[in-house]
Structures are given as C-alpha cells and as structure tokens.
Amino acid sequence: MEKVFKVLIFTDLDGSLLDRDTFKFDSIKDYLIQLISKGIFIIPNTSKTEKEILEFTNDLGSSLPFISENGAAINGLDLLNTNFPKKLILSREKADLLNIFKETVPKNLQNKCKWLSDMDKKKQSLIFGLKDKKLSMALDRKYTVPFLFEGTKNEKNELSKIIKNQDLFLQEGGRVINLTDKVNKANALKVFVRFFKKDNINVKTIAVGDNYNDLNMLKTSDFPCLVFNDKFTLDKIPISNLITSDKPSPEGWADVIKMALVEINKNR
C-alpha cells in the first residue's frame, strides 16, 4: 500500500526563497501557490521579524505558520489545529538578553559591539539594504538584538564563549550578528514537528537555506537543501544527503524543492 506523507517545507527567506538583493520572489510565486494547493506546508523559518514575515505571506496571498527571529517564536500553530496556540514563545525578551550581556561581558568587548539600534537610519539602511517601512519592520525585534562586531576573530571567539556561559548565543547571518537566547531554527523546527505529529503520523520535512546559520536547521530535516550562495564552500558542509542547486534564489529554491519532492515520492 502506498504511504502518504505530509510534507513540511521549513525555509529561510533572504537569499534562499527571496532574491538576495531585491527580496522578490515573483518568478516562483505560482509554484509556491501550487505547492500549497497540494497540501504541502511552507513554513518560513528565518531571522526576520514577525512583521516582515507577515508582509511576505500577504504578498503570497496565503496565511502560513512561521518561525521568527532565529527560532525565538512560532506563529500560526492554530492554522494546523484550532486547539493549538496561536503563538508559542521560546525565548526571553530582548531587554532581558541585553541586561545579561551588560552585566557579564567585559567593557573592552562591549565597546566592540555596535548595536544597530544606536545607528542612524542611513547606516541601518546600508546594512540591511532596506528603507523606510521595510527598515522599520526589520528593526522591530522582540527577542533578538542585531549588531556589528568590530574586533578581531579571537575577540569574537572570546565574546561567544562568555555569551554561551550565560545560555545566550551569537547567531551570524549574512549581514549582522544577532544576540539571541538559547534558541535556534533547528530546535524551533523540532517543536513545530512535535505539534504537527499530534494529528499526522507520516511526516517528511524539507529544510531550505543558503548560509552557515541555516546548517543546524538543514541537519535536523529529512531532506536538507542548499540554495546557491557564492560565499559558501560546499566541501566544508558535513551533510551527506544535501540537495543543492547551482542557481541563486528564488529560482534555486524551486530547483531544490522539486528534487526533494522526487526523493520523497521514491519512498512512497
């Protein structure tokens, strides 16, 4: 008897599903809608804020569950089952994180951290590649604090070690470093799947990313997918079943998903 799997696609957005420079996805919008119409769940799992992800879902024209701010919060579980919570928060508030940071990190290292919230709009815009409303949404963070580090590699390693001892983490993305709680995309994925499996036994997970901060999410999935990123060295990625595309986003996203779905169909 053919086994029917429910498919969950956990996906990073910038550089994975959205164009790295324009943040557009028009060329694959119809494909996304087609996937959703087939009962496949697309779950953004990204460093983006709740407002930014809601703008993406509005542009897509579909309500989607999603994971925001590097695994800090899961939104829309009630879309799976009305008995599930609308929002599940996995992180402490950013004010709590900053208080711990200021109390435990030596002043010489604190001075190397340039918080985006302290910068003027022009510099914030240059770093994020965003303006006006989009910039405001990107900075509207509840659980993570973005900054630039202007020290040496050894100093950054020292900072990371101090932070980890306080059960906090530094999540490095393509543009900034985020001070976060002890959360990540992979753990949030696991929590989401546990909820989903309450109503669905046969589940296959696909995870799509384009950068080093996506690797833990990819390793946690059944079918890890990597969209082309010219700053990424494939031979240094310890994932044996990695699915890759030589195209950048958004077309590269569609490529890896099609390949992953072929693999899932082989297991029916």
Most confident of 201-205, 238-242, 256-260: 256-260
* Residues 66-73, mean pLDDT to the nearest whole number: 97
Q: Which amino acid is at 227?
A: V
How confident is the model at residue 207, as a pLDDT? Answer: 98
* Residues 140-159, mean pLDDT to the nearest whole number: 96
Question: What is the spatial distance between Cα 182 and Cα 138, in angstroms, rounded to a whole number?
Answer: 21
Q: Is the pLDDT of residue 236 over 90?
A: no
pLDDT in tens, 11-23: 999 999 999 989 9
Q: Is the pLDDT of residue 1 over 50?
A: no
Q: Is the model more confident about 238 or about 35?
A: 35
94-181: CATH topology: Threonyl-tRNA Synthetase; Chain A, domain 2 (3.30.980)
Token look-up 């082989």 returns 266
* Residues 33-60, mean pLDDT to the nearest whole number: 97
How confident is the model at residue 2, as a pLDDT? Answer: 57
- Average pLDDT over the chain reads 94
pLDDT in tens, 164-185: 999 999 998 768 999 999 999 9
* Residues 220-242, mean pLDDT to the nearest whole number: 86
Q: What residue ranges of the chain are covered by domains with CATH 3.30.980.20? A: 94-181
Q: Which CATH superfamily is domain 6-89+184-266 in?
A: HAD superfamily/HAD-like (3.40.50.1000)
Q: What is the DSSP letter of 212?
A: G
Give the global pTM. 0.94
Q: Is the pLDDT of residue 160 over 80?
A: yes
* Residues 82-96, mean pLDDT to the nearest whole number: 97
The DSSP annotation for 41-99 comes to EEEEBSSS-HHHHHHHHHHHTS---EEETTTTEEE-GGGT-TTS-SEEE-S--HHHHHH
The answer to whether the bond into 248 is cis (omega within 30° of 0) is no
Confidence label for 237 from pLDDT (cuts 50, 70 and 90): confident
Nearest Cα to Cα of residue 43 among 241, 179, 217, 183: 217
Q: What residue ranges of the chain are covered by domains with CATH 3.40.50.1000? A: 6-89+184-266
How confident is the model at residue 268, as a pLDDT? Answer: 65
How confident is the model at residue 3, as a pLDDT? Answer: 67
Q: Is the pLDDT of residue 220 over 80?
A: yes
* Residues 222-233, mean pLDDT to the nearest whole number: 89
How confident is the model at residue 146, as a pLDDT? Answer: 95
